[in-house]
A = this chain, B = another copy of it.
Amino acid sequence: MTKRKLTRSEIKRQAILDAAKQTFQELGVQGTSMDELAARAQVSKRTVYNHFASKEALIMELIGELWQQATLMPQGAYDPTADLQVQLSALIESEIAVICSREYIELNRVAFDHFFHQPEALQKEVEKFAAIETGIKRWIKAARVDGRLRELDTEIAAGQIHNLIKGSCFWPQLVQVAPILNEKERHELAERTAAMFLSHYQK
């Protein structure tokens, strides 16, 4: 337990980050003034600038948190003895759990908001994430080598799974045209995604 040792400074800093996360998410990065932010954090504007050199630095700190969170992605190993539908479905569901989480989506909103008009910078950030999206890819490769899937292009096949997932539980939530999925919905999404994938690719 890391608890009772927060200096006053650390408390303030955290208050700023919390307020920033919430306010950026609510009003947008552009729409949030540093004055508003300081007010919400119940901190003087000067204190904000004592902790963060600029608005940009504050934003990047938050996006850094996102990157850190993404590295927690589950990396289920392929099990040659288990049923394909069962294990793929479970792997997908655990990946959905991350992608669907409020925290993850909200931070992504801030990031997309910030990078929407800087395609090259966004592309760089996305590359970091691309490295992460290999959990399912590796599983597919393993199952293919094991001879339980028919011939396929791993990139494309993994992409199909991700498209099926994200189209239901990420993109609409990112742009806030659909609510975040509940546990049952996530489970069903995982099941039917695995089922469709295996209908096509299982030997």
Give the residues in chain B near A167, CB-CB below 8 Å. 159, 162-164, 166-167, 171
The reply on A77 being an interface residue by CB < 8 A is: no
Assembly stoichiometry (copies): 2
A124 — nearest CB in chain B belongs to which residue?
A: B177
Cα A122 to Cα B159 in complex, Å, equals 27
Q: Considering only CB atoms and an 8 Å cut-off, how many residues of chain A contact the other chain?
A: 31
**With A167-B163, A168-B163 as contacts: A192 and B156 at CB distance below 8 Å:** yes
Interface string of A161-177 (1 = CB under 8 A from B): 01110111001000111
B-contacting 9-mer, from A12-20, A65-73, A135-143, A194-202:
A194-202
Most buried by B among A126, A160, A167: A167
Write the nearest CB–CB distance from A179 to chain B, whole angstroms: 11
Write the nearest CB–CB distance from A82 to chain B, whole angstroms: 21
* CB < 8 Å neighbour of A126 from B126, B164, B177: B177
B-contacting 9-mer, from A56-64, A90-98, A111-119:
A111-119
Cα A166 to Cα B172 in complex, Å, equals 12
Cα A13 to Cα B143 in complex, Å, equals 59
Is there an interface contact between B117 and A28, defined as CB atoms closer than 8 Å?
yes
The reply on A123 being an interface residue by CB < 8 A is: yes
Residues of A that sit less than 8 Å from B by CB: 27-28, 30-31, 112-113, 116-117, 119, 122-123, 126, 156, 159-160, 162-164, 166-168, 171, 175-177, 192, 195-197, 199-200
Give 6 closest A-B pairs by Cβ, nearest first.
Answer: A163-B167, A199-B200, A119-B176, A28-B117, A196-B200, A199-B199
